[in-house]
Structure 1
């Protein structure tokens, strides 16, 4: 009977398109799941998406067209783009697709972890399924805590408000909010328990592999500034998979118009997941980059020349120096949310820089740039200081890890260190002359970097409250 109940619960989780809160689910169909193999197959979840619309414009890399800002009713995008700390963003965030989907996925992983031991099947498959579910559960908690809480600060993490940890399948749970330290401890426990069982070549591209597991471990340690552990994990990940797709050669062969690179054929990708869905990059107006980032690319970078358009006013403020991503997803899969090998290389470079090993740090950058820069200066000189070396690394991260969460997370974590903190400024509008120009500023310690929990989740769970000093409307 217990097995049947768990199987039914898992059926519910497998088919739901959305959920109203992280523990409130309405079944829409039924499939019989009885075997260990059924549970293992459930780990594979194509088209898993993490919508970043609540915070995508709180960075210096993205841009909004003047037509979408000037004269428009204030919405969360405009509030974030203009760094408006006085606006009541809490009342506008009545719900959050990102929040709901992340906890929906966590409940899916929890049902696998809780239910598979009650099935008949090989213990090897049970261990593998639980390991894959745990590494994905760790990933989802990592995203959540870095969106809704302060970036990890060793001095304050034990008291900084975090998120609710969901460590078991429970439809009625109203968990307490854990601290940032507690959430990271939970994440690291899941990773460490998963790693011994993950495979180098799992059953399909939507099953996490061991290179992904060690890459996530490296990222968590790096965000905690545990540099020795981050370096060790990055090297371990790269020992399994270290591909860098040669965009220079790709450009010479005609690029996306001549050769399609689609899932699972991009050798850099460690985990296939998306911001909005597997056609997300088709919507160029949401993927406009700022004049600052466009200038950072220069004129000889394949990452820009192959994928971006800067000479059409249809979807970007071209006269402002903006540009937009212009390659359909069925021509080239560009990883935005999940981990990829090039990020692991860049994490390793940062570890070397933080250890004052500037030569090895820059060697990694030059190895990457050799497959990115079409002409002109490929190899960077080795700086004399850690700050200058870190600036080179951050610049390469901005050009390599576009859209998704990466720049938002990097600004948050680096803003905790005065040496690397950045005050963002944006003068706007650039083109129109009938509207007075204003300069908008985002300080490194701005509360805007901590996204409010959606109102519907806080109304349903009285244990969940904001990590900022903003007021609730109820």
Structure 2
């Protein structure tokens, strides 16, 4: 069966009433109103995590006293994660992401057939298109090579699913990275033309509001090296006062427990958190998997370019050599009186990323002083004395006479510190073609070279068995 995953996608049946029973034999709720469809789209926000890619980065070491299961070591060594299919696995992320996409497709298939306000209908359509685009964007950036204009037409993409899966046997092809990016862009632009915030209630932070969608667009065009478009969407988020989109870590990390700090980091009231998502995962546990250690924290934060305290240097551990930053507050959903699933609320897109994305755009366009202004906006809420730098100091610190090269090194260091333990480093390793060396507990060395084919994480074995072409190895 050439399906993308081993469970049937959600379908809403519109079967005519049986003359004998005079009722629909399917007991699932039919979608009758725009409000019903909106609830369906709300289920298109993926609850699986891609944080297994953090184990692939240079942010982690082998921690002897941590729980190291086979799939974690597979990620650490950049081999196929075939030993495990639950949380924190490629299979779980792949299946749940396509399941989320299925909700988008079902919503789009029925949106014109249900009753309700037409303005609301347009907003629901827009949200479904943007959610579909974002889910495919995450898949292609995990399971394919990074977008390269010279090779994107030939590099293997991922199936871009735009219709309801209503056939028992269906063939899919991976297409190319370019194909996937073109379809993402189409969905994204169309979705943005329809999206309005008026119909979202409460904090609105669990949906793609316009600001969240702009942040996604800024990342999309940055990854495509389209700096002009990325800059446009960064500016739409940040406006005239970008500082309000930078959380004040001196307040978040003051006088509270680890869990309280982590909860404040993902709080929907925090303006920086443009969209937050619930993630079912064990990842929040410090003694679980490959993590940062003292050596990595010293590399990141000791003798930093500012020569002053960086408040991001939060070293928390619990009877383990692993060091974690208070970003994930584990909660628990009980399915019985004693069992269930751990989960946490994750800031999926946030203002600090938009600011650093804009800084990158300015660097790539040769606007180094303007880029430094964005850095200073961030640094005021990260360094004890506010962090003031000039271009000469940056060149001197990196021993580079070429300012563009020095600024790229500087940017990558700031991004690494800002997004530590969030998975973003893996995308930067792919984008900037960095090399990594890992050493396991036994002392064996593993190396990832620049533009390594293994930066395209292998698709799940179940997808290969069902007919999809595997990534080259």
Q: Please give the range of the TM-score, normalised by the shorter of the 2 chains.
A: 0.7 to 0.9
| Structure 1: 5+ residue stretches without partners | 1-18, 416-421, 430-434
Residues 76 and 290 in structure 2, CA contact (< 8 A), matched pair in contact too: no
2:143 to 139, 144, 148: 148
Q: In 1, distance between residues paired with 2:410 and 2:212?
A: 25
User: Kindly tell me: are residues 139 and 293 of structure 1, through their superposed partners in 2, closer, same or farther at Cα, counting changes over 3 Å?
Assistant: farther
Q: In 2, distance between residues paired with 1:350 and 1:334?
A: 30
Using structure 1 for the length normalisation, give the TM-score: 0.79
| Structure 2 residue aligned with 1:12 | none
Listed one character per residue, the Cα deviations across residues 186-207 of structure 1 (whole Å, up to 9, x for unaligned) are: 0000110011222246333222
| Structure 2 residue aligned with 1:425 | 437
Instruction: Give matches, 1:226-375, under 5 Å.
Output: 226-239=226-239, 243-252=245-254, 254=256, 261=264, 263-277=267-281, 281-282=284-285, 285-286=288-289, 288-290=291-293, 291-298=295-302, 300-305=309-314, 308-309=315-316, 312=318, 314-315=319-320, 317=321, 322-326=322-326, 329=329, 336=346, 338-373=348-383, 375=384
User: Kindly tell me: are residues 65 and 129 of structure 1, through their superposed partners in 2, closer, same or farther at Cα, counting changes over 3 Å?
Assistant: same
User: Kindly tell me: are residues 208 and 26 of structure 1, through their superposed partners in 2, closer, same or farther at Cα, counting changes over 3 Å?
Assistant: closer
SS of 1:102's partner is helix
1:330 Cα deviation after fit: 7.0
Instruction: Give matches, 1:437-456, under 5 Å.
Output: 437-456=443-462
Q: In 2, distance between residues paired with 1:110 and 1:249?
A: 42
1:177 Cα deviation after fit: 1.6
Q: In 1, distance between residues paired with 2:158 and 2:378?
A: 36
Residues 216 and 339 in structure 1, CA contact (< 8 A), matched pair in contact too: yes
Listed one character per residue, the Cα deviations across residues 162-191 of structure 1 (whole Å, up to 9, x for unaligned) are: 110101112324222210000000000011
Q: In 2, distance between residues paired with 1:103 and 1:187?
A: 14
| Structure 2: 5+ residue stretches without partners | 13-25, 303-307, 332-342, 396-402
Q: In 2, distance between residues paired with 1:47 and 1:281?
A: 20
Residues 60 and 292 in structure 2, CA contact (< 8 A), matched pair in contact too: yes
**RMSD, aligned α-carbons:** 3.2
1:103 Cα deviation after fit: 0.2
User: Kindly tell me: are residues 82 and 364 of structure 1, through their superposed partners in 2, closer, same or farther at Cα, counting changes over 3 Å?
Assistant: same
User: Kindly tell me: are residues 176 and 20 of structure 1, through their superposed partners in 2, closer, same or farther at Cα, counting changes over 3 Å?
Assistant: closer
| Structure 2 residue aligned with 1:188 | 185
Q: In 2, distance between residues paired with 1:413 and 1:171?
A: 37
User: Kindly tell me: are residues 257 and 135 of structure 1, through their superposed partners in 2, closer, same or farther at Cα, counting changes over 3 Å?
Assistant: closer
User: Kindly tell me: are residues 148 and 76 of structure 1, through their superposed partners in 2, closer, same or farther at Cα, counting changes over 3 Å?
Assistant: same
1:22 Cα deviation after fit: 6.9
| Structure 1 residue aligned with 2:39 | 41
SS of 1:426's partner is strand
Q: In 1, distance between residues paired with 2:27 and 2:292?
A: 41
Q: In 2, distance between residues paired with 1:448 and 1:257?
A: 35
Listed one character per residue, the Cα deviations across residues 52-74 of structure 1 (whole Å, up to 9, x for unaligned) are: 365331101123312458xx78x
Which stretch of the first structure deviates more once superposed, 102-111 or 355-364?
355-364
The answer to whether residue 410 in structure 2 is matched with residue 386 in structure 1 is: no
| Structure 1 residue aligned with 2:61 | 63
Q: In 1, distance between residues paired with 2:346 and 2:426?
A: 12
Q: In 2, distance between residues paired with 1:125 and 1:56?
A: 39
Residues 282 and 326 in structure 1, CA contact (< 8 A), matched pair in contact too: no
